[in-house]
C-alpha cells in the first residue's frame, strides 16, 4: 500500500534489508536443545531467581547490565555489590572534556564545536565508568535540579555543564544540604534561573531582585507547593484544602537573598566583577556585597535573617531554612523513588524514605546515602513499575550490547537519541524537566489515578522514534555518521548470536538481560513465532529477536 | 466506545452543568448542522515561558506612551522604533507593535489580525481590593510557570485538571456523533500537551521537521514475520496497565502514521514559501495537513505549536528583537498559505503564553506577571482592532498588584468562549468545554463573549 514506499526507504537507508532471508514454513525448529553438561566444581551457578533479582536491581542502579555483570552480582550478592558501589570514588566528566579541549582547542566555529565535548564526555563515562550507581543517581538528580543546554550561553561552554554534572556526582552520596548549596552557587544554575548578576532593589531605576531562582528552588528543588505529611500526602486545612508552603511575599523575600552573586573569574584573566559578561562556568559563583540586598529577610516558618549579615551568610541561612523544612524528606524522597524505582510508591514507602532523610540521634538529617539505600532496598522496590525513559532505553542498549570504538570515544552518540526520541541528559525543555512527576495519561492509568510521568513524552512521534532508534542500532549498526577524526561505533551481538540457534536459549537470555525475567507469555510467543522460521542464519535471528525485544511493551516498562 | 456510551460518559462527567445536560437531547440536531465540507480549524501558538507582550503591543499616543516609558524604564522601546498600527480607538488612542512584528502589522492593517489586550487567567472577576484582602478566588500558583502555562491550556485556573480546551471541544464534537476518523482531530506539532487532551481524545503528534514517522520495517513486504510479531505484541492482553497503555499508544501511532503519511505523500505541494524559523517550519507542516483534510476525514481540527524561550528575566530587549521577527513572518506566511488553500475564513490562529510580565525591570529583564496581550488571526477575525481593555500604565493603578503585574480585564474563559462558539460549539455546550465560563459570560445571552470574531 501507500506506506510501503516510505518504509522501504527508511529501511534501505539503514540497511534493514535482512529481515527475512528465511522462507517461512520450515520444520519446527532448529533441532532439540541440547542440555549442557553440569558445570563441574564449586561454587554452584546462581539460580534463575537470583539472576532475575540481580538483573532487576541492576536495571535501576546502572545504565544497563550485560549478562556477565548480572551473573557476577548474583554470585557476589546484591548488598555486597551495592556496598562496593557506594564506596567507589566518582568518575568525573570534566577531565574528559579537558582531554578533548587539549586535543582540539577551543574554537567555537570548529568541527566538532567545543560545546559538544560535554556530551562526548557524558557518553564515554556513562558507558565505561565503574561507579555506575553514582553515575545513575547523578542522572536522576539532573531531573530534580534541572538545567539545560537549550540555553545558548550554557551550550557553547564545554566545561559548565560537565562541571555541574560533576557537582551532582560529587554530592550524590553526600548530604542534601551541601548539594542544594552547591547547586545554588553553580554558575550554570545562575544562568539558567537568572540569579547570576542579580542586583539588589534600586529605587532610582525602579528595579527589583529577580524572583526566578527564589521561586523554583522552593517549588522544584526542595519543598514543593504544598505542605506534606511524612508519607508524601498533602496536609489539609480545616476546610479540607491543601496548605501552600509559600506565597508571593515569601518569594520576594528569598529573591533578596539571592542577590549579589556573580562569576568568580574571567577566562580572559583579570579580576571578576559584578555584571561580568565573560564568565567562567566551572567555578562556583561568588558574592559581591555591594549588590546584595541589605536589611532583614523573612524566610519560611517564622525564621528572620537579621540585617547586617554578609551575602553568603544570608544564602546559608536560606539554604538551612529550606533544608530544615519538614517537606524536604517526602518531597525529594518521593521524586527519587519515582526516578529510580516506581511511579506510584505507597505512602508507607515514602514515609520510610522520609525517615531515612530526617535522620535520628545517630544519623544526620539529609544523608543521601541513607536515603538512597532506603529507596533501593525498600521491600516495595522489587515490585516497582515505571515506564522507562526513551533516552535510558537507548543508553542501556549501548551498554548491554557493548557499544565500542577503536579509539574508545563515542561522539556519534551525542545527538541521535535527542533527534529521534526527543530526550537527552541535561537538555530538558524547561526547569520543569521532561515531564511532571504527577503526570497521568488519560485513559486507564488516569482513571485509576496512577502517576506515569514518562508517558508525558510518549507521543506518537517519540514512541515511533524510540522504536526506530532500536532498529537503527540493531540493523544499521548505529544510525550515525562518525565525525571526522573519530572511529566508528559498533555493537557486539556475538554473545546473542552464539545462542541464536536455540530459540529458547536466546529468549531466556533476552528475558533476563532486558526484562529481568518479566517477559510475559504473549511477548515470548510473538518473538518465538517470528524467529522460528528463520533458519541457518544466527545473525538474522539475533537481530530480529533483539529488535522485537527492544521495542516490546514488556521492555518499555520496568516492572 | 459507542456514541451512546460517550454521551453517557459526558452526561455523568463533573463538567456537565444541569442546564447543559438538559440540552444533550438536542445534540443530534447539532451534529446535522456540521455538514461534510463544513471545515474549521483552530491553531494555537503557545509562546512558552511568558512573553513580555507589553513590549509587543505598545500605546503610541503621547500621554500613554509617556506612562509606558516611565514604567518600563530601561525596558521601554523608543517611540520612533515602534511600527504604528492603522487604528485609532475612541479618545485618539493609538498603538504600535514591536519593530520585529512587521508581519503582524501588515496582517492587522489588512483586517486579518486583532489584538486582545490584558487577557489572562481568572478564577472569577477580580479587582485589586479582592486580591489584596484575600477575598478574591485566585488562580492556583499565580505567577508560576507550571501552573500558568497549564491554566492557559485548561482554562480552569482554580483546579489542576488533566484536560484542556481543545481536548474538551473534541470530546463534545465526537459526542455529537460526527463520524470519527481514526486520526485524532487534534494534531500537535509540539508533542503531548494539555490543551489538546480530552477524556476521549488525545493529540496526534507530527514532528515539525520530519513530519510523520513510521516504525522501521512495519508492513514492509519482506518483513511479514516482524510485522505479525509486533501486531501480536500490541494486541496481547497484558496484566500490567503500564504495558497495556504502552501497547495502545504504539498501536495508535503506527496506524495513524500510516494513514497520515499516505495522505501527505499524495498532497499537492504548496506554492507559498515558508522561512526557516521554528514557527514557520511548524506552520508549513500544519498547512500541509490542512491541505489533505478531506483524506484525514475530520471536519474539525485543532493544531498546537510551541515556540519556547520567552522567559526573559534577562536580556528581554535583544532576545525579543531576535525572536519576534520569526513570529510575524510565520503568521504572514501561514496566512498566505491559507489563502492559497482557500480556507482563510475557516482557520483561526491565536497565540497564548504563560503570563504577561512585570512592567518594571529587574535591571536585566522582566519577571513573571499576569495579564498580557494576545493575537488572533484569520479571515473570520474582525481584524484591525484592539479588543478587551488596554490598561492604564501608571504604577499603582487599579489593576497593578505590584511591579506592574496586571489583573486581567478579560478572562481566558471569555477568550476561549469566543473561539469555541466560532468553532461550532453550541452555546448550550459551552459548559462542557469551559466549566467556569458562567463566571464571566452567559452562554444564553446570544452576545459575543469578546467580539473579535465575525
Pairs of residues, one from chain A and one from chain B, whose beta carbons lie less than 8 Å apart: 263
Residues, chain B: 454
Contact B224 A445 (CB under 8 A): no
CA distance A21 to chain B (A): 8
Nearest CB to A208 within list B199, B240, B403: B403
**Range name among A25-29, A183-187, B235-239, B299-303 with the lowest pLDDT average:** A25-29
Chain A residues touching B236 at Cβ < 8 A: 520, 522-523, 526, 553
Q: Does B219 touch chain A (CB under 8 A)?
A: yes
Nearest CB to B262 within list A2, A445, A526: A2
Chain A residues touching B213 at Cβ < 8 A: 461, 464-465, 468
Contact A526 B367 (CB under 8 A): no
CA distance B31 to chain A (A): 25
Nearest CB to B233 within list A198, A457, A523: A523
Q: What's residue B199's pLDDT?
A: 78
Q: Average pLDDT of A401-425?
A: 90
Contact B245 A16 (CB under 8 A): no
**Cell numbers at A290, concatenated:** 555591594
Residues 38-57 of B with CB under 8 A from A: 48-49
CA distance A203 to chain B (A): 11
Burial of B418 (0-12, 13-18, 19+ CB in 10 A): buried
Query: B93-97 and B113-120 as β-strands: parallel, antiparallel, unpaired?
Result: unpaired
* pLDDT exceeds 70 at position A307: yes
Contact A475 B360 (CB under 8 A): no
pLDDT tens-digit profile, chain B (454 residues): 233 332 222 222 222 222 232 232 233 333 333 444 689 999 999 999 999 999 999 999 999 999 999 999 999 999 999 999 999 999 999 999 999 999 999 999 999 999 999 999 999 999 999 998 878 889 987 988 878 998 999 999 987 677 899 999 999 998 887 666 778 899 999 987 889 988 778 788 888 877 887 899 999 998 999 999 999 999 999 999 999 999 999 998 999 899 898 899 889 999 999 999 999 999 999 999 999 999 888 999 999 999 999 999 989 999 999 999 999 999 999 999 999 999 999 999 999 999 999 999 999 899 999 999 999 999 999 999 999 999 999 988 999 999 999 999 999 999 999 999 999 999 999 999 999 999 999 999 989 999 999 9
Alpha helices in A194-268 (DSSP H): 212-219, 248-257
Residues 131-190 of B with CB under 8 A from A: 141-146, 162-163, 188
How far is B321 from B179, CA to CA, in rounded Å? 46
Other Cβ atoms less than 10 A from the Cβ of A152: the count is: 11
* pLDDT exceeds 80 at position A17: no
ipTM: 0.91
Closest C-alpha among B98, B207, B126, B8 to residue B398: B126
Q: Which helix (H) or strand (E) holds A262?
A: strand A261-262
Contact A20 B213 (CB under 8 A): no
- Mean pLDDT over each residue of chain A, to the nearest integer: 90
Residues 58-87 of B with CB under 8 A from A: 73-74
Closest-approach residue (CA) in chain B for A473:
B216
Contact A387 B246 (CB under 8 A): yes
Contact B253 A450 (CB under 8 A): no
Residues with Cβ within 8 Å of B442's Cβ and at least 6 positions away in sequence, in order, are none
Nearest CB to A19 within list B74, B205, B223: B223
**Cell numbers at A43, concatenated:** 561454587
Q: Does B224 touch chain A (CB under 8 A)?
A: yes
Provide the greatest CA pair distance for chain B: 75
Chain B residues touching A526 at Cβ < 8 A: 228-230, 232-233, 236
Residues with Cβ within 8 Å of A215's Cβ and at least 6 positions away in sequence, in order, are A251, A254, B143, B144, B368
In a mutagenesis test of the B interface, which of A464, A474, A507 is the best target, namely the one with the most B β-carbons within 10 Å? A464
Q: What's residue B284's pLDDT?
A: 96
State in Å, rounded, how far the first CA of chain B is from the last one. Answer: 36
How far is A287 from A274, CA to CA, in rounded Å? 9
In a mutagenesis test of the A interface, which of B362, B366, B403 is the best target, namely the one with the most A β-carbons within 10 Å? B362
Closest C-alpha among B321, B249, B314 to residue A467: B249
What is the pTM assigned to this prediction?
A: 0.78
* pLDDT exceeds 70 at position A3: no
**To 10 degrees, what angle do helices A158-171 and A176-185 make?**
170
Residues with Cβ within 8 Å of A322's Cβ and at least 6 positions away in sequence, in order, are A180, A217, A218, A222, A223, A300, A328
- What one-character DSSP code corresponds to residue A114? G
Chain A residues touching B238 at Cβ < 8 A: 520, 522, 553-554
pLDDT tens digits, one per residue of A84-98: 999 999 999 999 999
Contact B237 A522 (CB under 8 A): yes
In a mutagenesis test of the A interface, which of B208, B210, B363, B393 is the best target, namely the one with the most A β-carbons within 10 Å? B363
Contact A471 B238 (CB under 8 A): no
Residues with Cβ within 8 Å of A509's Cβ and at least 6 positions away in sequence, in order, are A67, A495, A496, A499
Q: Which helix (H) or strand (E) holds B304?
A: strand B300-307
Closest-approach residue (CA) in chain B for A387:
B242
CA distance B4 to chain A (A): 18
- Identity of the highest mean pLDDT range in A151-160, A260-269, A412-421, B109-118: B109-118
**Cell numbers at A414, concatenated:** 551525542
pLDDT tens digits, one per residue of B171-214: 999 888 766 677 889 999 998 788 998 877 878 888 887 788 78
**Look-up of cell digits 529501511:** A11
How far is A456 from A513, CA to CA, in rounded Å? 26
How far is B64 from B69, CA to CA, in rounded Å? 9
**Cell numbers at B376, concatenated:** 488572533
Contact B225 A530 (CB under 8 A): yes
CA distance A39 to chain B (A): 36
Q: What's residue A477's pLDDT?
A: 64
Chain A residues touching B144 at Cβ < 8 A: 215, 219
Contact A461 B206 (CB under 8 A): yes
Chain B residues touching A446 at Cβ < 8 A: 162
Q: What's residue A278's pLDDT?
A: 77
Q: What's residue A558's pLDDT?
A: 94
Nearest CB to A461 within list B207, B233, B244: B207
How far is B452 from B454, CA to CA, in rounded Å? 7
pLDDT tens digits, one per residue of A97-131: 999 999 988 887 787 888 899 999 999 999 999 99
* pLDDT exceeds 70 at position A213: yes
Residue A270: pLDDT band by 50, 70, 90 thresholds? confident
CA distance B219 to chain A (A): 7
Provide the greatest CA pair distance for chain A: 89
Q: Which residues pair with A228 in a beta bridge?
A: A234
Nearest CB to A202 within list B234, B240, B363: B363
Residue A29: pLDDT band by 50, 70, 90 thresholds? very low
* pLDDT exceeds 50 at position A21: no
Which three-class secondary structure state does DSSP give residue B115? strand
Burial B232-245 (b: 16+ CB within 10 A, else e): bbbebebeebbbbb
Chain A residues touching B15 at Cβ < 8 A: none
**To 10 degrees, what angle do helices B3-12 and B165-175 make?**
130
Q: Does B255 touch chain A (CB under 8 A)?
A: no
Q: What's residue B40's pLDDT?
A: 97
CA distances from A10 to A5, A14, A490 (A): 9, 6, 20
CA distance B242 to chain A (A): 7
Q: Does B405 touch chain A (CB under 8 A)?
A: no
Contact B215 A458 (CB under 8 A): no
Which three-class secondary structure state does DSSP give residue A235? coil
Q: Which helix (H) or strand (E) holds A94?
A: helix A94-104
* pLDDT exceeds 50 at position A479: yes
Burial of B179 (0-12, 13-18, 19+ CB in 10 A): exposed
CA distance A473 to chain B (A): 12
pLDDT tens digits, one per residue of A328-371: 999 999 999 999 999 999 999 999 999 999 999 999 999 999 99
Amino acid at each position: 500500500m501507500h506506506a510501503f514506499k516510505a518504509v522501504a526507504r527508511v529501511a534501505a537507508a539503514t540497511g534493514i534489508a535482512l529481515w527475512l532471508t528465511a522462507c517461512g514454513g520450515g520444520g519446527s525448529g532448529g533441532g532439540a536443545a541440547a542440555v549442557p553438561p553440569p558445570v563441574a566444581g564449586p561454587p554452584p551457578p546462581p539460580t534463575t531467581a537470583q539472576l532475575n533479582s540481580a538483573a532487576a536491581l541492576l536495571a535501576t542502579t546502572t545504565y544497563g547490565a550485560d549478562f556477565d555483570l548480572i551473573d557476577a552480582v548474583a554470585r557476589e550478592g546484591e548488598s555486597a555489590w551495592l556496598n562496593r558501589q557506594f564506596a567507589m570514588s566518582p568518575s568525573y566528566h570534566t577531565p574528559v572534556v579537558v582531554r578533548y579541549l587539549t586535543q582540539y582547542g577551543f574554537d567555537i566555529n570548529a568541527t566538532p564545536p567545543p560545546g559538544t565535548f560535554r556530551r562526548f564526555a557524558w557518553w564515554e563515562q556513562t558507558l565505561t565508568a565503574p561507579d555506575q550507581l553514582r553515575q545513575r543517581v547523578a542522572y536522576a538528580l539532573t531531573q530534580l535540579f534541572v538545567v539545560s543546554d537549550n540555553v545558548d550561553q550554557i551550550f557553547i561552554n564545554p566545561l559548565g555543564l560537565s562541571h555541574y554534572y560533576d557537582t551532582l556526582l560529587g554530592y550524590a552520596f553526600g548530604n542534601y544540604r551541601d548539594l542544594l548549596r552547591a547547586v545554588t552557587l553553580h554558575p550554570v544554575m545562575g544562568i539558567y534561573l537568572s540569579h547570576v548578576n542579580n542586583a539588589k532593589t534600586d529605587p532610582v531605576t525602579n528595579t527589583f531582585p529577580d524572583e526566578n531562582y527564589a521561586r523554583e528552588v522552593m517549588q522544584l528543588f526542595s519543598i514543593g507547593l504544598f505542605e506534606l505529611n511524612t508519607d508524601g500526602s498533602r496536609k489539609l486545612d480545616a476546610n479540607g484544602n491543601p496548605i501552600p508552603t509559600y506565597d508571593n511575599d515569601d518569594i520576594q523575600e528569598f529573591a533578596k537573598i539571592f542577590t549579589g552573586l556573580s562569576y568568580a573569574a574571567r577566562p580572559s584573566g583579570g579580576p571578576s566583577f559584578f555584571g561580568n559578561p565573560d564568565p567562567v562556568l566551572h567555578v562556583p559563583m561568588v558574592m559581591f556585597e555591594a549588590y546584595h540586598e541589605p536589611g532583614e529577610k523573612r524566610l519560611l516558618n517564622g525564621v528572620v535573617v537579621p540585617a547586617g549579615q554578609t551575602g553568603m551568610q544570608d544564602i546559608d541561612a536560606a539554604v538551612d531554612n529550606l533544608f530544615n523544612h519538614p517537606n524536604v524528606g517526602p518531597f525529594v524522597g518521593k521524586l527519587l523513588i519515582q526516578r529510580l524505582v516506581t511511579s506510584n510508591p505507597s505512602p508507607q514507602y515514602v514515609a520510610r524514605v522520609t525517615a531515612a532523610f530526617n535522620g535520628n540521634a545517630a544519623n544526620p538529617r539529609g544523608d543521601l546515602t541513607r536515603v538512597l539505600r532506603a529507596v533501593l532496598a525498600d521491600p516495595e522496590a522489587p515490585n516497582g513499575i515505571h515506564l522507562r525513559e526513551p533516552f535510558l532505553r537507548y543508553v542501556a542498549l549501548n551498554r548491554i550490547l557493548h557499544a565500542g570504538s577503536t579509539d574508545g570515544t563515542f561522539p556519534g552518540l551525542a545527538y541521535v537519541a535527542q533527534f529521534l526520541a526527543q530526550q537527552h541528559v541535561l537538555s530538558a525543555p524547561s526547569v520543569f524537566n521532561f515531564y511532571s512527576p504527577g503526570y497521568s495519561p488519560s485513559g486507564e492509568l488516569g482513571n485509576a489515578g496512577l502517576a506515569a510521568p514518562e508517558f508525558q513524552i510518549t507521543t506518537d512521534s517519540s514512541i515511533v522514534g524510540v522504536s526506530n532508534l532500536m532498529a537503527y542500532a540493531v540493523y544499521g549498526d548505529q544510525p550515525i555518521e562518525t565525525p571526522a577524526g573519530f572511529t566508528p561505533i559498533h555493537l557486539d551481538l556475538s554473545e546473542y548470536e552464539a545462542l541464536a540457534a536455540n530459540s529458547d536459549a536466546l529468549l531466556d537470555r533476552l528475558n533476563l538481560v532486558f526484562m529481568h525475567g518479566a517477559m510475559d507469555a504473549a511477548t515470548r510467543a510473538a518473538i518465538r513465532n517470528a524467529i522460528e522460521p528463520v533458519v541457518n542464519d544466527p545473525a538474522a535471528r539475533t537481530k530480529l529477536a533483539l529488535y522485537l525485544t527492544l521495542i516490546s511493551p514488556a521492555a518499555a516498562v520496568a516492572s | 466506545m459507542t456514541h451512546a456510551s460517550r454521551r453517557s460518559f459526558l452526561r455523568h462527567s463533573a463538567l456537565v452543568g444541569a442546564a447543559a445536560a438538559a440540552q444533550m437531547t438536542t445534540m443530534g440536531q447539532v451534529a446535522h448542522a456540521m455538514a461534510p465540507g463544513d471545515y474549521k480549524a483552530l491553531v494555537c501558538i503557545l509562546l512558552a515561558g511568558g512573553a513580555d507582550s507589553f513590549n509587543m503591543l505598545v500605546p503610541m499616543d503621547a500621554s500613554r506612551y509617556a506612562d509606558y516609558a516611565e514604567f518600563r524604564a530601561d525596558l521601554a522601546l523608543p517611540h520612533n522604533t515602534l511600527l504604528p498600527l492603522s487604528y485609532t480607538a475612541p479618545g485618539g488612542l493609538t498603538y504600535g507593535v514591536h519593530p520585529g512584528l512587521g508581519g503582524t502589522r501588515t496582517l492587522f492593517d489588512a483586517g486579518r489580525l486583532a489584538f486582545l489586550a490584558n487577557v489572562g487567567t481568572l478564577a472569577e472577576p477580580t479587582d485589586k481590593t479582592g486580591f489584596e484582602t484575600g477575598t478574591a478566588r485566585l488562580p492556583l500558583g499565580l505567577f508560576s510557570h507550571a501552573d500558568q502555562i497549564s491554566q492557559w491550556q485548561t482554562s480552569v485556573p482554580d483546579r489542576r485538571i488533566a484536560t484542556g480546551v481543545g481536548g474538551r471541544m473534541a470530546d463534545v464534537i465526537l459526542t455529537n456523533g460526527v463520524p470519527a476518523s481514526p486520526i485524532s482531530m487534534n494534531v500537535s506539532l509540539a508533542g503531548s500537551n494539555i490543551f489538546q487532551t480530552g477524556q476521549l481524545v488525545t493529540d496526534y503528534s507530527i514532528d515539525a521537521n520530519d513530519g510523520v514517522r513510521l516504525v522501521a520495517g512495519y508492513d514492509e513486504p519482506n518483513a511479514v514475520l516482524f510485522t505479525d510479531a509486533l501486531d501480536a505484541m500490541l494486541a496481547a492482553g497484558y496484566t500490567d496497565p503500564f504495558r497495556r497503555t504502552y501497547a495502545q499508544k504504539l498501536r495508535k501511532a503506527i496506524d495513524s502514521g500510516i494513514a497520515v503519511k499516505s495522505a501527505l505523500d499524495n498532497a499537492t505541494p504548496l506554492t507559498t514559501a515558508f522561512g526557516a524559523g521554528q514557527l514557520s517550519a511548524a506552520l508549513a507542516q500544519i498547512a500541509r495537513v490542512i491541505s489533505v483534510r478531506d483524506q484525514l476525514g475530520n471536519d474539525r481540527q485543532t493544531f498546537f505549536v510551541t515556540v519556547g524561550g520567552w522567559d526573559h528575566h534577562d536580556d528581554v530587549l535583544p532576545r525579543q528583537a531576535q525572536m519576534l521577527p520569526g513570529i510575524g513572518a510565520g503568521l504572514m506566511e501561514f496566512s498566505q498559505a491559507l489563502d492559497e488553500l482557500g480556507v482563510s475564513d475557516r482557520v483561526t490562529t491565536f497565540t497564548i503564553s504563560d503570563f504577561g510580565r512585570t512592567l518594571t525591570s529587574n535591571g536585566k529583564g522582566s519577571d513573571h506577571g499576569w495579564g498580557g496581550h494576545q493575537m488572533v488571526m484569520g479571515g473570520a477575525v474582525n481584524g484591525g482592532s484592539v479588543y478587551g481593555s488596554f490598561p492604564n500604565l501608571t504604577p499603582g493603578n487599579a489593576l497593578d498588584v505590584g511591579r506592574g503585574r496586571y489583573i486581567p480585564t478579560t478572562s481566558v474563559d471569555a477568550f476561549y468562549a469566543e473561539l469555541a462558539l466560532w468553532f461550532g460549539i453550541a452555546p448550550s455546550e459551552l459548559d462542557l468545554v469551559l466549566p467556569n465560563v458562567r463566571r464571566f459570560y452567559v452562554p444564553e445571552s446570544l452576545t459575543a463573549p469578546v467580539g473579535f470574531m465575525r
